[in-house]
């Protein structure tokens, strides 16, 4: 018959002499060794700012804003948004996510 | 700090490159990761710290590949596991880790008369295990991971993990008996 140990007994044996590992500057060392922040991170904020400006000044963006507000107001009042509003909102979210992803990946690279 | 807190911190790092958030993650997990490497390298503190640092740096660089469906700790230990094997490959297996072929040699050093006490040397006991068994034993008994999480970390089926644990336990039982620790044997 093979000898066997109980799980609790092994845990107890392994942990009885375990000392706590103090940080002792380890975290600071890791933080110092991290690569610098993405150089192109500001591009994200630039796009956001440009988008806000475009919404105010470019003809046609008013209808885009109306579609988005229609979508969110409908959701808040527990109503089904119009199909156009859904399509526009999904397109805007996907477009934004794509731009964010591309710029962030470039920044890391 | 819960899994939700981890996800919140990870989101801050990804979205705003928030170093303080990453600092919190490192502080939370450094002890576990360093202990994991210390056991894997059988007590080599210098190598353990180097590998631990490398693990956190890789975690930072690849944080965007983290999917919230898994626990952050599982994902981090998976990186640590890969870092360990990368290190082994790069140093051409020069780590002073005993293989099962050397097990008998290790046991010869432990006569019952020398080791009649209950304070078992963890590092020495781990030497009698094969590497995969050792990793499974460390993750299960020392880091408190469940079978499915260990399976995610080691990327092998749960059945294989259970086999590693079972074989590891048998070897440990023999080791403990040879070391004079009879109480552990049931």
Model pLDDT for residues B91-126, shown as the tens digit of each residue: 865 545 544 444 444 443 433 334 434 456 778 888
> Considering only alpha carbons, which residue of chain B is nearest residue A22?
B31
CA distances from B137 to A14, A38, B64, B125, B133 (A): 10, 39, 30, 11, 6
Task: Return residues 105-124 of B near A (CB < 8 Å).
Answer: 118-122
In the predicted structure, residue A1 carries a pLDDT above the cut 50: no
In the predicted structure, residue A98 carries a pLDDT above the cut 50: yes
Q: Kindly indicate the confidence band of residue B90, based on its pLDDT and cuts at 50, 70 and 90.
A: confident
Closest Cβ–Cβ partner in B17, B27, B170 for A38: B17
Mutate to test the interface with B, among A18, A26, A37 (most CBs of B within 10 A): A26
The pLDDT assigned to B57 comes to: 96
Alpha carbons B68 and B8: distance in angstroms, whole number:
10
The pLDDT assigned to B104 comes to: 42
The better pLDDT of the pair B78, A7 is held by B78
In the predicted structure, residue B19 carries a pLDDT above the cut 70: yes
The pLDDT assigned to A91 comes to: 83
Against a cut of 0.90, is the pTM above it? no
Judging contacts by C-beta atoms under 8 Å, the chain B residues touching residue A34 are: 19, 22, 57, 60
Asked if B176's CB is within 8 angstroms of A37's CB, the reply is no
Least confident of A27-31, B11-15, B151-155: B11-15
Q: Kindly indicate the confidence band of residue B49, based on its pLDDT and cuts at 50, 70 and 90.
A: very high
In the predicted structure, residue A77 carries a pLDDT above the cut 90: no
Chain B: give the shortest CA distance to residue A34, in Å: 6
**Residues recorded for chain B:** 186
Answer yes or no: are the C-beta atoms of A34 and B57 closer than 8 Å: yes
Chain B: give the shortest CA distance to residue A25, in Å: 10
In the predicted structure, residue A8 carries a pLDDT above the cut 70: yes
In the predicted structure, residue B184 carries a pLDDT above the cut 60: no
Chain B: give the shortest CA distance to residue A93, in Å: 16
User: Cα B2 to chain center, whole Å?
Assistant: 21
In the predicted structure, residue B18 carries a pLDDT above the cut 50: yes
Supply the ipTM of this predicted assembly.
0.76
> Considering only alpha carbons, which residue of chain A is nearest residue B143?
A11
In the predicted structure, residue B139 carries a pLDDT above the cut 50: yes
Q: What is the DSSP string of B18-86?
A: -HHHHHHHHHHHHHHHHHHHHHHTTS-HHHHHHHHHHHHHHHHHTGGG--TTS-HHHHHHHHHHHHHHH
The pLDDT assigned to B46 comes to: 92
- Smallest CA-to-CA distance from B130 within B168, B74, B73, B169 is with B168
Answer yes or no: are the C-beta atoms of B56 and A30 closer than 8 Å: yes
């Amino acid at each position: 018959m093979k000898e066997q140990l109980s799980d609790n007994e092994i845990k107890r044996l392994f942990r009885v002499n375990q000392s706590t590992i103090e940080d002792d500057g380890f975290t600071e060392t890791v933080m110092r060794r991290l690569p610098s922040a993405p150089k192109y991170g500001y591009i994200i904020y630039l796009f956001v700012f440009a988008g806000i400006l475009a919404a105010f000044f470019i003809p046609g963006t008013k209808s885009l804003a109306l579609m988005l507000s229609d979508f969110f107001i409908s959701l808040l009042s527990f109503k089904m948004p119009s199909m156009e509003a859904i399509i526009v909102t999904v397109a805007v979210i996907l477009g934004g996510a794509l731009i964010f992803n591309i710029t962030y990946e470039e920044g890391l690279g | 700090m819960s899994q939700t807190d981890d996800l919140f911190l990870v989101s801050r790092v990804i979205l705003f490159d928030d170093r303080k958030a990453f600092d919190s993650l490192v502080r939370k997990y450094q002890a576990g990761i360093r202990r994991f490497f210390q056991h894997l390298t059988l007590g080599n503190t210098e190598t353990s710290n180097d590998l631990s640092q490398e693990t956190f740096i890789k975690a930072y660089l690849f944080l965007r590949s983290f999917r919230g469906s898994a626990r952050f700790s599982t994902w981090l230990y998976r990186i640590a596991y890969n870092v360990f094997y990368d290190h082994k490959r790069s140093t051409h297996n020069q780590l002073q880790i005993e293989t099962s072929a050397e097990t008998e040699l290790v046991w010869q050093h432990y006569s019952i008369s020398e080791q009649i006490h209950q304070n078992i040397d963890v590092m020495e006991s781990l030497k009698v295990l094969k590497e995969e068994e050792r990793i499974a034993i460390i993750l299960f008994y020392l880091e408190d991971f469940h079978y499915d999480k260990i399976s995610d970390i080691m990327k092998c089926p749960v059945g294989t993990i259970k086999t590693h644990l079972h074989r590891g336990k048998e070897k440990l039982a023999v080791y403990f008996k040879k070391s004079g620790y009879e109480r552990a044997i049931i």
